Structure 1
């Protein structure tokens, strides 16, 4: 039993952090190559602070550069969500996914669920409206989110495969 728990924690850490790092690398690449600005995790931190005060939507009135605390909170949240998605894979597909990863699990969690959460929770919370309806470039933002979360799902699968190889007897 102890080994199963150790394997679950290893899976969550490797897949959660590894895939989130790849997603961040993808965002940096898009910024450098195409000039597409990545998510400002400081504003996400500001939104989280607002949530703690009962404000569900970031109102956009405070456009000041996020504080160090807001940036730290936003980045921590970003990585905790990555860990959460890795844990969700195990919860939905069982511990066998650790030794025998299959792409379908990561498409469902890493791409479909995470994209829907972004469009139905994060976008509205950040003031962009449900599915980004208030954005002037809604279609582009949704397309970029789908592609980014596809990269995230592929990275989850790659990290899971690598870990399965390391854990194999």
Structure 2
């Protein structure tokens, strides 16, 4: 059944590519000391949305709670699932059998990178394209590299499922 195939595709490609991205971030942290995303702060921001706080101001300097961390990590993986679900939903069921590079470049790299730099970063107080961050060029470069890893993982997993 098509719905089941799309669900399996989204689970394998979405979760799998997100795991690869997280392993990449872990490797960067251990090898180069590069701090990864703080999903607890993302969870704190998400919890603030219910109160109408669209922009996280960073005024609460306490460590994120378990609930904030859990929500942030769940959001991270749900976004990965959503990106994967876009392929068969936008490019049709044929994508499940014959994944193509262009859609993965558009969603896995371009769209996901822009979503981070134009939506999530500003909502977390960093400004569009991290313009308020003291290390803006580094953040943009890391985003480009990280989302390249994500897109390559999506494509590899999609191809493996199609085989």
Please give the alpha-carbon distance, in whole angstroms, between the structure 1 residues aligned to 2:135 and 2:88.
Answer: 35
Q: Count residues with an aligned counterpart.
A: 163
Deviation at 1:122, TM superposition (A): 0.5
Could you tell me the TM-score, scaled by structure 2's length?
Answer: 0.98
Residue aligning to 2:30: 32
Residue aligning to 2:133: 135
Q: Which runs of 5+ in 2 are unaligned?
A: none
Please give the alpha-carbon distance, in whole angstroms, between the structure 2 residues aligned to 1:100 and 1:142.
Answer: 32
Could you tell me the TM-score, scaled by structure 1's length?
Answer: 0.95
Residue of 62, 67, 86 corresponding to 2:65: 67
| 1:65-87 residue CA offsets vs partner (Å, 9 max, x unmatched) | 00000000000000000000001
Deviation at 1:130, TM superposition (A): 1.0
**Equivalent position SS for 1:128:** coil
Please give the alpha-carbon distance, in whole angstroms, between the structure 1 residues aligned to 2:26 and 2:32.
Answer: 10
Deviation at 1:140, TM superposition (A): 0.7
Please give the alpha-carbon distance, in whole angstroms, between the structure 2 residues aligned to 1:61 and 1:4.
Answer: 47
Deviation at 1:89, TM superposition (A): 1.6
Please give the alpha-carbon distance, in whole angstroms, between the structure 2 residues aligned to 1:16 and 1:116.
Answer: 18
Residue of 120, 124, 145 corresponding to 1:126: 124
| 1:7-58 residue CA offsets vs partner (Å, 9 max, x unmatched) | 1111111000000000000000000011000001000000001111100111
Residue aligning to 2:82: 84
Deviation at 1:6, TM superposition (A): 1.4
Q: Which runs of 5+ in 1 are unaligned?
A: none
| 1:117-140 residue CA offsets vs partner (Å, 9 max, x unmatched) | 001110001110111010011011
Q: Which aligned runs of 4 or more in structure 1 are off by greater than 4 angstroms? A: none
Deviation at 1:104, TM superposition (A): 1.2
**Equivalent position SS for 1:48:** helix
